[in-house]
Amino acid sequence: MTSTDTLSITPQPTRLPIRFGQFLPLAPPSIMLIFIFAIPMGMMIALSFRGADGALLTLDNYQRFFSDDLMLAGLWRTALMSGLVAICVTVMAYPVAYYLARSTSRWRTVVFALAIAPELAGVVLRTYGWLVILEDHGAINSILIWSGMISEPLPLSKNLLGVVIGLTHVVLPFGILSLLTSIQGIDPNLERAAQILGASRLSIIRRIILPLSVPGIVSSLLIAFTMSASAYATPALLGGAGFKVLATMVYEQVLFYIDWPLAAVMAVLLLILMLTMTLAGTRAEARLQRKLHV
Amino acid sequence: MSSNDIEMISVTKAYGSHRAVNEVNLAIPAGEFVSILGPSGCGKTTTLNMIAGFAHPSSGDIRIRGKSQNGVPPEKRGIGMVFQNYALFPHMTVEENVAFGLKMKKRPIGEIRDAVKHALRRVHLDGYGERYPKELSGGQQQRAALARAIAPEPSLLLLDEPLSNLDLKLREAMRVELKDIQEQLAMTFVYVTHDQDEAMAMSDRIVVMQNGVVAQCGRPADIYDHPRSSFVADFIGKSNLLPIQEVQRSGKDWVVSVATGLSLRAKTPDDTLADPPQYCCIRPEAVRLTMVESDASTSANRLAGTLTRMVNLGAYFDCFVTLQDGTVLKSLVRSTRLPGLTSNQTVFLSIEREAVQLLPR
Ligand SMILES: Nc1ncnc2c1ncn2[C@@H]1O[C@H](COP(=O)(O)OP(=O)(O)OP(=O)(O)O)[C@@H](O)[C@H]1O
Ligand SMILES: [Mg+2]
């Protein structure tokens, strides 16, 4: 073959056949995920359709859940609690994240350490800490009663309020981190450009910073929501016996009533709740970003 | 009212013990195109940021339109700014970007619409209003940023290296357009750049900065023809800079001895020397290169040497001539003037006495 022949050959399409070798590094984690995640999850979902009579596919267990007002209240309570925590966390984390993203002061490192430090103590430890502060004989109530401002202790724990306070504290660092990444990605010159064009501090936040940090806000809301919805220790300890959410109800069904299929239903519903929120959140993000900038 | 748009009165900005801007005095007349020119890190951006109000002078005073700006925030200074990276709002269309300043000033909707259209037409971006910044090319983004800055019609516009991200061709085209816009709108432009060609091409006045101080301020031609220091001579245009060992009087001329032993005759405009000169500066275009020895009757300095290197610049050659004493002089030769010129041949140089400038630093 002459060299001109070689030149006239049209180049082969560069797309290579799929080589299995390139997926090899993915094998160990995939196998691991299949065994510790996918299979148990599948078993749980299957369990939720298992009938008491041995039937493999029945909606009995779901019917039992949805016809019980107490259980429905638990589902509703889970959503409410997680939603409140998501909002509290995001609202509180935002100013901290903004400060951390923009400050050049040497206090920045200190604030950053303080914001993340709570994660070093375990959830249970921190929840007990809040119990000491919030319970009827706890720090706040003792001081208020001692000073004569109230005669009966305020209901700060064993209810939604206590759980939301505790969970907000537990989840806050995650909210700060996800907002921080997003705000750090906003060019500081945009703020200067807005400022020199006559925008006040408030307008800059409303028209520039907030719209551009929508991805961070959404991810903070979602992380806080899913972490709260699946939290067990904090609702169990700070909520008391009467405060039931899906996570504590699953535990109860498995341990006290030994009703595995019903527990599986609750777990599936918890999963659906979190997936729905994640899906709704990511879809809202795109739309919100367009709307906010007017 | 003062006719100066900006006055800086012994302004210093210190970061710790480092003075980014040191005792700068500057008066920028209304309607002028003023460039702040200097190497990286000399304090150009810091100066601009202090005028804009993003940084505060450690000492000294900045006045805009005769009024001290001490404590006046950027949004109240009534100036426009174009940033090096354009800083267009990515979540707004070009139109919304341009309208932003007018909206903040609470102008009526109809007026905003007209002003936006007008500004976009002025920068040749009509038809691009609906696009988002990321849907524009670099040059178009630069124009959009300019339109946004000029739409509220500030009397004063600050520009921080606005062309440095563009390719050479676009940069040269934008120079002309920027200058046109500045003249049409009769705005004061303060233009920061480290590109001396850019500064020479557009400015009414150039402020050359060096290590936080103003090295020289004046019209482009003045600075080029009469640099006040070796730094300015070196930074603006090309030059042969030779350290001086001794200067002696000889009739109406000065006889300058250079470290290598070369001696040159120089003539100053008023026959005086303000400070003892340290350097002499000869522009390459003032060094006339010939292949035959020139007429002995001229009063010019006459030298001979070997042409050691020729750099082709297209229309010109940059010729490096090594003299007998080892000094290398650069000479600019039009390509068509000496067709037979090759390196390693003996050449002759003549330099007018007036072209040998004596610099105190
Ligand atoms: N916030 C700051 N803190 C400390 N030092 C600073 C700060 N801003 C600038 N400097 C220093 O001040 C000097 C001048 O900086 P400036 O940004 O004004 O330079 P420049 O002339 O704009 O340079 P370039 O052409 O690279 O943009 C530099 O030495 C820089 O390190
Ligand atoms: Mg700079």
Ordered DSSP codes for chain A: --HHHHHHSPPPP-PPPPPGGGGGGGHHHHHHHIIIIIHHHHHHHHHHT--TTS-SS-SHHHHHHHT-HHHHHHHHHHHHHHHHHHHHHHHHHHHHHHHHHH--STHHHHHHHHHHGGGGS-HHHHHHHHHHHHSTTSHHHHHHHHTTS-SSPP--SSSHHHHHHHHHHHHHHHHHHHHHHHHHTS-HHHHHHHHHTT--HHHHIIIIIHHHTHHHHHHHHHHHHHHHHT--HHHHHHH-TT---HHHHHHHHHHTS--HHHHHHHHHHHHHHHHHHHHHHHHHHHHHHHHHT-
Please report the pLDDT score of residue A4 as a whole number: 43
In a domain, A46, yes or no: no
Domain ranges of chain B: 4-234, 240-359
Q: Please report where in the chains the tokens 């031609």 appear, as a residue.
A: B221
Runs of H (alpha helix) within A150-240: 160-184, 188-196, 201-204, 210-212, 214-229, 233-239
Please report the pLDDT score of residue A18 as a whole number: 67
Mean pLDDT of B159-175: 87
Question: How many CB atoms sit inside 10 A of residue B9's CB?
Answer: 16
Runs of H (alpha helix) within chain B: 44-52, 94-104, 109-122, 138-150, 168-185, 196-202, 220-225, 230-235
Nearest residue to B144 via CA among B160, B128, B167: B128
Which of B52, B83, B91 comes nearest A211 by C-beta?
B91
CB A182 within 8 A of CB A102: no
Reported for A276-281, long-range contacts at CB under 8 A and 24+ positions apart, including other chains, are: A277/A82, A277/A222, A277/A225, A277/A226, A278/A222, A278/A226, A281/A218, A281/A221, A281/A222, A281/A225
Q: Chain A, 157-196: which have a CB under 8 Å from a chain B CB?
A: 187, 189-190, 192-196
pLDDT digits (tens, 9 = 90+) for A165-201: 999 999 999 999 999 999 999 999 999 999 999 999 9
- The residue whose CA is least distant from atom 18 of ligand 1 is B43
Q: What is the phi/psi pair of residue B97, to 5°?
A: -60, -50
Task: Calculate the dihedral angle through the C-alpha atoms of B242, B247, B250, B255, rounding to the nearest 10 degrees.
Answer: -10
The CATH number that domain B240-359 falls under is 2.40.50.100
**B324: helix, strand or coil:** coil
**Paired tokens of A117:** 């430090």
Which of A187, A194, A289 comes nearest B85 by C-beta?
A187
In a domain, A120, yes or no: yes
**Paired tokens of B10:** 């012994």
Mean pLDDT of B251-259: 81
CATH of the domain at A102: 1.10.3720.10
Q: Which of A29-43, B244-258, B267-281 has the lowest mean pLDDT?
A: B267-281
Q: How confident is the model at residue A6 (pLDDT cuts 50, 70, 90)?
A: very low
With a cut of 70, say whether residue B100 has pLDDT above it.
Answer: yes
With a cut of 80, say whether residue B38 has pLDDT above it.
Answer: yes
Q: What is the phi/psi pair of residue A12, to 5°?
A: -65, 145
| Count of residues making up chain A | 294
Q: How confident is the model at residue A13 (pLDDT cuts 50, 70, 90)?
A: low
Does ligand 1 have an atom closer than 6 angstroms to the CB of B22? no
| A286 Cα distance to chain centroid | 19
Fold adopted by B4-234: Rossmann fold (3.40.50)
Q: How confident is the model at residue A157 (pLDDT cuts 50, 70, 90)?
A: confident
What average pLDDT does chain B have? 88
Does ligand 1 have an atom closer than 6 angstroms to the CB of B37? no
**Minimum CA–CA partner of A191 in chain B:** B87
| Interchain proximity A293–B92, CB inside 8 Å | yes
**Paired tokens of A123:** 């959830």
CA distance linking residue B196 with residue B208, whole number of Å = 10
CA of B209, nearest ligand number = 1
| B184 Cα distance to chain centroid | 22
pTM value?
Answer: 0.80
β-pairing verdict for B263-266 and B213-218: unpaired
Q: Number of structural domains, chain A?
A: 1
User: A293: which chain B residues are within 8 Å (Cβ-Cβ)?
Assistant: 89, 91-92, 96
CA angle, A118 as apex, A117 and A121 as ends, to 5°? 105
**More confidently predicted of A80 and B228:** A80
CA distance linking residue B250 with residue A37, whole number of Å = 97
Q: Which residues contact B327 (CB under 8 A, 6 or more apart)?
A: B242, B258, B260, B262
Cα–Cα distances (Å) from B112 to B96, B97, B116, B153, B294, in that order, read 10, 12, 6, 12, 68
The DSSP bridge partners found for residue A166 are none
User: A199: which chain B residues are within 8 Å (Cβ-Cβ)?
Assistant: 75, 100, 104
Please report the pLDDT score of residue A293 as a whole number: 52
CA distance linking residue B75 with residue A200, whole number of Å = 7
Please report the pLDDT score of residue A2 as a whole number: 42
Please report the pLDDT score of residue B211 as a whole number: 92
- The residue whose CA is least distant from atom 29 of ligand 1 is B41
Same fold, B4-234 and B240-359: no
In a domain, A33, yes or no: no
Give percent of chain B with pLDDT exceeding 70. Answer: 98
User: A194: which chain B residues are within 8 Å (Cβ-Cβ)?
Assistant: 89, 100, 104
**Minimum CA–CA partner of B79 in chain A:** A196
CB A199 within 8 A of CB B104: yes
Please report the pLDDT score of residue B249 as a whole number: 82
- A81 is in which domain, residue-wise? 55-293
Mean pLDDT of B272-298: 81
A180: amino acid identity, one letter: L
**Paired tokens of A179:** 């907002």
CA distance linking residue A263 with residue A267, whole number of Å = 6
Give percent of chain A with pLDDT exceeding 90. Answer: 57
CA distance linking residue A24 with residue B342, whole number of Å = 64
- Tell which one of B45, B165, B193 to mutate to probe ligand 1, the residue whose CB is within 8 A of the most ligand atoms: B45
**More confidently predicted of B203 and B339:** B203
Query: What is the ipTM score, two decimals?
Result: 0.81
In a domain, A22, yes or no: no
**More confidently predicted of B339 and B63:** B63
CA angle, B210 as apex, B204 and B211 as ends, to 5°? 145
Q: How confident is the model at residue B294 (pLDDT cuts 50, 70, 90)?
A: confident
Cα–Cα distances (Å) from B138 to B126, B143, B164, B167, B179, in that order, read 16, 9, 11, 9, 19
Mean pLDDT of A39-47: 92
Helix (H) or strand (E) holding B318: strand B316-323
**Minimum CA–CA partner of B154 in chain A:** A197
With a cut of 60, say whether residue A294 has pLDDT above it.
Answer: no
Which of A203, A211, A289 comes nearest B104 by C-beta?
A203
Q: Please report where in the chains the tokens 């090759």 appear, as a residue.
A: B342
Mean pLDDT of B328-357: 85
What average pLDDT does chain A have? 88
Q: How confident is the model at residue A17 (pLDDT cuts 50, 70, 90)?
A: low
Q: Which of B295-299, B320-324, B354-358 has the lowest mean pLDDT?
A: B295-299
Mean pLDDT of A85-100: 95
Q: Chain A, 200-239: which have a CB under 8 Å from a chain B CB?
A: 200, 203, 207-208, 211-212
Q: Which residues contact A264 (CB under 8 A, 6 or more apart)?
A: A44, A45, A47, A48, A50, A61
Give how far A83 is from chain B: nearest CA, Å: 28
CA distance linking residue A40 with residue A49, whole number of Å = 15
The contact set of B with A (CB < 8 A) is: 52-54, 73-75, 77, 79-81, 83, 85, 87-92, 96, 100-101, 104-105, 148, 152
CA angle, B336 as apex, B333 and B341 as ends, to 5°? 65
Please report the pLDDT score of residue A7 as a whole number: 46
Mean pLDDT of B288-306: 81
